[in-house]
Structure 1
Amino acid sequence: MRGRQLTQTQASARRRLPRWLSGLLGLLCILVGAFLVLKPFSSLAMLVLVIVVGLVLTGLGELSDDDPPGGRRLAVARGVVYLLAAVVVLVWPGATIRVLSVVVGIALVVGGVLDVVGARRLSGTTRWNALVSGIASVVFGLLALAWPDVTTLVIAVVFGAKVVILGVRLLVDAVRRTRKGDLEAALAHDESPKGGWWRLLGSVGALAAALVLILVSLTFQRGVPTADAFYDAPQSVPAQPGKLLKSEPFTRKIPDGAMTWRILYTTTRDEGQPAVASALVVAPKAAATTPSPVIAWAHGTTGAVPGCAPTVLDDPFETGAMFIEDKVIQKGWVMVATDYVGLGTEGPHPYLIGQGEGRSVLDAMRAARQLSGVRLTDQNVVWGHSQGGGAALWTGVLAPTYAPELKIAGVAALAPASNLIGLVENLHNVKGGSLFAAYVIDAYSRIYPDVRFDDYVRPGARTVIREMATRCLSEPGVMVSVISSLLVGPQIWSQDPGTGPLGKRLQDNTPPAKIQAPLLLGQGAADSLVVPTAQAAYVKSLCAAGQQVDYRTYAGRDHVPLVQADSPLAPELLDWTDQRLAGAAPKNTCP
């Protein structure tokens, strides 16, 4: 019996790759896997190449493994699966990250199933290792197929790590055979139990990571905000803009002494088509009998898809950077805060597309005047921050022609998205700037036929950027976008966004110097998103065109801190608004 075992072992040793080739294969696996983990998205072509090489090396590694879980037949089957996957990626026309995720995902699922099947023939730690590692591989593969953002992480980390582990195993085996000699190593290896506790520990760690990803996915899905039936448009949307469709009391986190409604009303898209938007109307209780002036609030960025409306989110005020709603009520003013089109209601949302945002603001003011239970004067002051600052500027531009019946006593634009080309070109220097870039290119490519998403976003970043555009800034899943943006890198553009059709459309949406109402423009001197130099250039262009503007800067204030309750801007904004409602002459800081 011993002689027979020796003969079988000698035959097994002769079937192995030469130890130098096994060691070289292991080293290549380690290098390729490490590249996938550390630098996967430098370019799509490089990613395709590395994935193909990784699949080939994994297939060859399975075929040459002298200690495969489940035996040689299953090892051959796994090797063939990975080699076929490499062929599919090579011959697939126009391979994308999504294609890669499908191929890698299927390969991981099939390889994992083969591991689980092979576990029935094993015993001890080897059986548990094959079973646990197989389940982990299946879970990771399903995640790659089902969760696009995690797809990139699976390709970069999971598959890369799998290739590294296989390489280490091959390299260690080659070193052991070098030290002991091929036959002696084979005999020693054959007499010892296969698998081992260290390998099992690694498999358990992989399964734990897979289960954590599942739990994270479920948590993120539960945290996705969704709009309820209130935001559904009627079957036939009235063509008249500013028509109140419905209203209901709103009680979530409203200021003391206020009565609040959420409203649904009609507005107009850029193509002249009727649309539906939502808003909050927040009024002091005295406004039920005493007419009150209106503060039209245009909120900052909350996202770009239905569900991201402030009226849907947990905090309807702070999520859009409104921190002094209590002061508005104490002043006896009524705040009308639009959600814009496409955040609570059906999209697309005109993110940084000025006329669409400006009309949403004006039509909210119109609709609020049809609300029973509150009385309003004919005076309106518009406030807006960031995205909403740009919307406020466009509200002032559009009011005389789009809603001439509304008296706009003043426009306050706070850190506004004004110089759009300068803003977008600077996003790669901003922490988390890829999120805002995703909102921009998604909105512009959906609304403008001449702006093509694929013309501006580099191939390796497209899947990640499309997924980013579907997330609200306040939802837990945005952390996946942040992690993905770190892998993709800060520069997502394949060409300068300030050129071509996108550049022209950004220029078209830069608010022109046609605001007849008194204008206050506030800017934080430490703003890293809307940079002061770009804002100063915009103000200079307004002055050169004859626009009067009261331009104020605030030392040490970044983008959001500019409008927080403790900012020196807050009391100045309230005082400036008092002066506008009183009809005082505005200040002009233009030379």
Structure 2
Amino acid sequence: MTAVQNRTELAEHWPAPAEPQMVGVDPFFEAPSGFEDAPEGTVLRYRDVSIGFLGRVKQKVRATQLLYRTVNMHGVPEVTVTTVISPLRGAKPGAPLVSYQCAIDSLHPKTFPSYVLQHGVKTEDASFPQIEYLFIAAAVAKGWTVSVPDHGGQTGRWGIPREPGYMVLDGLRAALSHEPLGLAADTRLGVWGYSGGGLATSWAAEIAPSYAPELNLIAGAVGAPVSDPGNVFVYLNNTLFTGLPTLVIAALAREYPTLREVLAEHVDDKGRKVFYEDALEWSPERAIRKMAHKDFGYYCPDLTFEEVARLPKLLEIFDDIRPGQSAPTVPMLVVQSTKDQISPVTDAEAHVARYADGGTHVEYRTDQWSDHFSMHFLSAPMLLGWLADRLDGKPVADAGHTHKRTIMASPRQVGRTLRLVGTLTRVGLARRI
């Protein structure tokens, strides 16, 4: 028996929810007694849900939520959920399974895919995963099954190292073992994500050889990964986007005692309130608004911000959370704007170099006419098309760096983009994709 077949389900079938409820409110998300004894990736509960674009436009797709057993960064058993989406009439026979990692970038469950992708959700803040459903739909339109995990766990540990990879890979294990999905144990698998989702995707690709060697992972496609979260903390200070590293520090403070020591010694009461209370309630959009152009140094009465950022205790954490500590054994595509205002291109270059030095086949594409946000949309057709080629068994191109003024500057990319626009139109009109 394969490892997947040996992962016997303990699953309870729950009814579809009457209305969307988030982690902490909906009992579906609670860990059942004794779950720790199950193998990683075991499905514990499942239910059908309805998907809604922006919460309002009900989608004609099949969607199942799986509560499954996984582990956190310390190896301690936990549960999280993946929302598995496939064509209304089922995936094509032999079609691949792809895990799409959303840019959750928040600690609050109101931003988790398991909540915001459901039809009927009403959110007060903009939600990245709701927009990213457009890219998920493009993959489903190919006849694929797509796993969309809550890769930050139930407390949204955004920026934590390795743990997102465990949760992504265990989500794939859960989907493969869930018999109603009809997926074979040797189904071809891909991982895909952008920005914070690209970081989670990087961790999944890195740890797959050691953590889930039985999975038939074929390739990974990432856009603008946060290639050095510690450097981003410094890079974004006192900018429009100061709120994003604020959320990362809030998450890290719950996992690293040494960071809590730094906050206790060098940050005042106002700053600790931001990290320990306020940030826990913010979506990325709200964090950006609340912290725009604020200097972390304002909260540091005894040292400058630059001095705090160079403290050995912080540098040790920054080293630990930096991806590229091991090299994926599958081909990778990394796409990055040279004018990215969130994740510097120099960090991405170093990330790619770490992978290449470890023997990974990396195709690295950059352009100069986009920024972090526009590249998300412009790169989606390329990332999806490249991933489709790998899952179809087509040969890879030469590894290395290719730079263009815009990644749209090719007939093939234009064609891919037009096909994506067609899918997006069907999503907006609530038509079957």
Map 1:174-573 to 2 at 5 A. Answer: 227-239=25-37, 240-253=39-52, 256-287=59-90, 290-313=93-116, 314=121, 318-319=129-130, 321-342=132-153, 345=154, 347=155, 349-377=156-184, 378-433=187-242, 435-452=243-260, 453-455=263-265, 457-473=267-283, 478=286, 482-483=289-290, 485=291, 489=295, 491=297, 494=305, 495-497=307-309, 499-512=311-324, 513-564=326-377, 567=378, 569-573=379-383
Distance between the aligned counterparts of 2:91 and 2:345, measured in 1?
42
Contact 1:259 1:283 survives alignment (8 Å): yes
Paired position in structure 2 for 1:579 = 389
Measured against aligned partners, the alpha-carbon deviations of 1:145-192 in whole angstroms (never above 9, x if no partner) come to xxxxxxxxxxxxxxxxxxxxxxxxxxxxxxxxxxxxxxxxxxxxxxxx
Per-residue deviation at 1:578?
Answer: 1.8
Structure-2 change in CA distance of 1:324 and 1:341 (3 Å)? closer
Structure-2 change in CA distance of 1:224 and 1:464 (3 Å)? farther
Structure-2 change in CA distance of 1:399 and 1:545 (3 Å)? closer
Contact 2:91 2:143 survives alignment (8 Å): no
Tell me, what secondary structure is at the counterpart of 1:533? helix
Per-residue deviation at 1:497?
Answer: 3.0
Tell me, what secondary structure is at the counterpart of 2:245? helix
Letter in 2 for 1:369: L
Tell me, what secondary structure is at the counterpart of 2:386? helix
Letter in 2 for 1:241: E
Distance between the aligned counterparts of 1:403 and 1:293, measured in 2?
17
Letter in 2 for 1:470: L
Distance between the aligned counterparts of 1:522 and 1:504, measured in 2?
28
Measured against aligned partners, the alpha-carbon deviations of 1:346-383 in whole angstroms (never above 9, x if no partner) come to x3x43212211100100001111233432224111100
Per-residue deviation at 1:490?
Answer: 5.3
Per-residue deviation at 1:401?
Answer: 1.3
Measured against aligned partners, the alpha-carbon deviations of 1:536-581 in whole angstroms (never above 9, x if no partner) come to 23323433444331111133222232222xx1x2222222112111
Distance between the aligned counterparts of 2:182 and 2:224, measured in 1?
31
Per-residue deviation at 1:227?
Answer: 4.2
Letter in 1 for 2:189: N
Letter in 2 for 1:516: T
Contiguous gaps of at least 5 residues in structure 1: 1-222
Contiguous gaps of at least 5 residues in structure 2: 1-20, 402-433
Letter in 2 for 1:326: A
Letter in 1 for 2:201: A
Structure-2 change in CA distance of 1:501 and 1:293 (3 Å)? same
Contact 2:92 2:144 survives alignment (8 Å): no
Structure-2 change in CA distance of 1:572 and 1:362 (3 Å)? same
Per-residue deviation at 1:448?
Answer: 1.9
Give identity over the alignment, percent: 26
Per-residue deviation at 1:456?
Answer: 5.5
Contact 1:302 1:320 survives alignment (8 Å): no
Distance between the aligned counterparts of 2:372 and 2:42, measured in 1?
34
Structure-2 change in CA distance of 1:486 and 1:555 (3 Å)? closer
Distance between the aligned counterparts of 2:198 and 2:223, measured in 1?
5
Contact 1:301 1:320 survives alignment (8 Å): no
Distance between the aligned counterparts of 2:129 and 2:369, measured in 1?
21
Contact 1:321 1:560 survives alignment (8 Å): no
Contact 2:100 2:192 survives alignment (8 Å): yes
Paired position in structure 2 for 1:15 = none
Distance between the aligned counterparts of 2:227 and 2:376, measured in 1?
17
TM-score between both structures, scaled by the size of structure 1: 0.56
Per-residue deviation at 1:519?
Answer: 0.5
Structure-2 change in CA distance of 1:474 and 1:247 (3 Å)? farther
Structure-2 change in CA distance of 1:248 and 1:324 (3 Å)? same
Structure-2 change in CA distance of 1:325 and 1:288 (3 Å)? closer
Tell me, what secondary structure is at the counterpart of 1:506? helix
Letter in 2 for 1:510: R
Measured against aligned partners, the alpha-carbon deviations of 1:241-267 in whole angstroms (never above 9, x if no partner) come to 101011111113168542011221110
Tell me, what secondary structure is at the counterpart of 1:296? strand
Per-residue deviation at 1:429?
Answer: 4.5
Distance between the aligned counterparts of 2:169 and 2:22, measured in 1?
29
Per-residue deviation at 1:299?
Answer: 1.3
Letter in 2 for 1:368: A
Higher strand share: 2
The structure, 1 or 2, with the larger RCO (C-alpha pairs under 8 Å, 6+ apart) is 2
Contact 2:259 2:313 survives alignment (8 Å): yes
Distance between the aligned counterparts of 1:456 and 1:297, measured in 2?
39
Letter in 1 for 2:214: E
Paired position in structure 1 for 2:409 = none
TM-score between both structures, scaled by the size of structure 2: 0.74
Structure-2 change in CA distance of 1:370 and 1:545 (3 Å)? closer
Measured against aligned partners, the alpha-carbon deviations of 1:292-336 in whole angstroms (never above 9, x if no partner) come to 211101111341134431222348873474432221111111110
Tell me, what secondary structure is at the counterpart of 2:111? coil
Letter in 2 for 1:511: P
